[in-house]
């Protein structure tokens, strides 16, 4: 069983400035809830009951969002706003166990995951990045967790992207095992398109066995002067430890940049049972777009 899910949310979110000057990027609203809520919902749906946030200064709003809010609840109760009260209560009821650890300096995703080591202990765990939302029939992280338990090895999620887009990601090379599964042979962080070993980019979902921490402790600073998670994965492979990549079933949305964020809102709003139909009409008739 995999129980623990680590959410590294200590990054600076510079691509979404000035929106993220005061508000964590994970708290930016997608239709009617902060982006991070969708990702926590995915983890909970996958059976991950222990949520661990790696936060930094100014990110406390993320923790508060998943906590009880007695004053607000009392007020909504007094005003007989039952439906809203239910919505608010559902958020805090979502997370059974929530803990947080602080990453004092934004030294990279690898460093952020290592910061969670004392809370993870000696068991396999999931890592989910709040920028990536995934719409899928089976939660993306469950697809990975099932494979990781079956193979008894770490599994990362990959998506096939056009070559000119892979340079923003970690890119794998590997042996095709069929059914979207790859045995990873190498991984490069943010390669130039012509140097990318494939078109398979690592997205923000991972399942690791605790051996990853040994490698995170060992790696030097990598691309951008940061401790890169992909460098630890590369070191693990170089040591002969098996790592797999799974082309997950589903659609990913990247909320971490301006265009991706707007596309995400649009896609989620069009699917929303309350506003989807009217939004479609508005795009088609008022804006003459569809
Ligand atoms: P990003 O590369 O998206 O960086 O990090 P960022 O700082 O959040 O955003 P930009 O690039 O400045 O706009 C990927 C994930 O790793 C976390 C981020 O919070 C994000 O979820 N992260 C990154 C940390 O927790 N700590 C770090 O030191 C770096």
User: What DSSP designation does 122 have?
Assistant: S
Predicted local distance difference test score (pLDDT) of residue 289: 81
Examine residue 60 and state whether it is found in any structural domain, yes or no. yes
Residue 123 confidence (pLDDT) above 90: yes
134 lines ligand 1 (CB under 6 A): no
Examine residue 178 and state whether it is found in any structural domain, yes or no. yes
Predicted local distance difference test score (pLDDT) of residue 288: 85
Examine residue 275 and state whether it is found in any structural domain, yes or no. no
Predicted local distance difference test score (pLDDT) of residue 22: 93
- Find the 182 Cα to ligand 1 centroid distance in Å: 26
54 lines ligand 1 (CB under 6 A): yes
pLDDT band at 99 (very low <50, low <70, confident <90, very high): very high
101 lines ligand 1 (CB under 6 A): no
Examine residue 174 and state whether it is found in any structural domain, yes or no. yes
Predicted local distance difference test score (pLDDT) of residue 169: 94
Mean pLDDT on 169-193: 94
Q: What is the pLDDT of residues 25-76, one digit of tens each?
A: 999 999 999 999 999 999 999 999 999 999 999 999 999 999 999 999 999 9
Q: Which of 6, 11, 189 to mutate to test the pocket of ligand 1 (most atoms within 8 A of CB)?
A: 11
Can you spell out the DSSP letters for 163-213? GGGGGGSEEEEEEEEETTEEEEEEEEES--GGG-S-SEEEEEEEEE-TTHH
Examine residue 277 and state whether it is found in any structural domain, yes or no. no
**Reduced to 3 DSSP states, what percent helix, strand and coil does the chain have, rounded to the nearest 5?**
40, 25, 35
Examine residue 266 and state whether it is found in any structural domain, yes or no. no
Mean pLDDT on 21-25: 94
Q: Which of 19, 20, 109 to mutate to test the pocket of ligand 1 (most atoms within 8 A of CB)?
A: 109
8 lines ligand 1 (CB under 6 A): yes
13 lines ligand 1 (CB under 6 A): yes
- Find the 123 Cα to ligand 1 centroid distance in Å: 24
For residue 226, the ligand 1 atom closest to its alpha carbon is 28
What is the Cβ-side half-sphere exposure of residue 75, based on CA atoms within 13 angstroms?
Answer: 5
Distance (Å, rounded) from C-alpha 183 to C-alpha 109?
A: 23
Rg over CA atoms, the chain: 19
User: Is 206:154 a contact under the CB 8 Å cutoff?
Assistant: yes
Examine residue 76 and state whether it is found in any structural domain, yes or no. yes
State the total domains in the chain: 1
Q: Return the CATH number at 164.
A: 3.90.550.10
Q: What residues have CB less than 8 Å from 130, skipping those under 6 apart?
A: 7, 9, 25, 26, 35, 36, 39, 204, 255
Distance (Å, rounded) from C-alpha 37 to C-alpha 63?
A: 11
pLDDT band at 224 (very low <50, low <70, confident <90, very high): confident
Q: Report the nearest-CA residue for atom 22 of ligand 1.
A: 11
Q: What residues have CB less than 8 Å from 272, skipping those under 6 apart?
A: 31, 32, 279
Residue ranges making up the domain that contains 150: 4-256
Kindly report the average pLDDT of the chain as a whole number: 95
174 lines ligand 1 (CB under 6 A): no
Examine residue 281 and state whether it is found in any structural domain, yes or no. no
- Find the 80 Cα to ligand 1 centroid distance in Å: 40
Query: pTM for this one?
Result: 0.95
Predicted local distance difference test score (pLDDT) of residue 102: 97
Q: What is the pLDDT of residues 128-144, one digit of tens each?
A: 999 999 999 999 999 99
Q: Which of 232, 211, 25, 235 is nearest to 109 (CA)?
A: 232
170 lines ligand 1 (CB under 6 A): no
24 lines ligand 1 (CB under 6 A): no
12 lines ligand 1 (CB under 6 A): yes
- Find the 260 Cα to ligand 1 centroid distance in Å: 15
């Amino acid at each position: 069983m995999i129980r623990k899910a680590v959410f590294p949310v200590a990054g600076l979110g510079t691509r979404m400035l000035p929106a993220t000057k005061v508000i964590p990027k994970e708290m930016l609203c997608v239709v009617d809830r902060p982006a991070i809520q969708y990702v926590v919902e995915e983890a909970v749906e996958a059976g991950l009951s222990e949520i661990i946030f790696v936060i930094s200064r100014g990110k406390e709003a993320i923790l508060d969002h998943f906590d009880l809010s007695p004053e607000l609840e009392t007020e909504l109760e007094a005003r007989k706003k039952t439906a809203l009260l239910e919505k608010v209560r559902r958020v805090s009821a979502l997370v059974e166990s929530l803990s947080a650890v602080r990453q004092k300096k934004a030294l990279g995703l690898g460093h952020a995951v290592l910061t969670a080591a004392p809370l993870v202990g000696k068991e396999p765990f999931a890592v989910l990045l709040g920028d990536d939302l995934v719409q899928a029939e089976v939660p993306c992280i469950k697809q990975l967790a099932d494979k990781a338990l079956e193979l008894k090895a770490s599994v990362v999620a990959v998506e096939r992207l056009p070559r000119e887009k892979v340079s923003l990601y970690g890119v794998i090379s590997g042996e095709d095992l069929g059914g979207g599964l790859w045995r990873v042979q190498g991984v490069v962080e943010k390669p130039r398109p012509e140097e990318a070993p494939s078109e398979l980019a690592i997205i923000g979902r991972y399942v690791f066995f605790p051996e990853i921490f040994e490698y995170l402790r060992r790696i030097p600073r990598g691309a951008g002067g940061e401790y890169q998670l992909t460098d630890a994965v590369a070191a693990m492979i170089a040591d002969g430890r098996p790592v797999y990549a799974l082309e997950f079933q589903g659609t990913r949305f990247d909320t971490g940049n301006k265009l991706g964020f707007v596309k995400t809102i649009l896609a989620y709003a069009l699917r929303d049972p309350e506003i989807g139909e009217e939004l479609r009409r508005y795009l088609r008739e008022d804006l003459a777009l569809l």
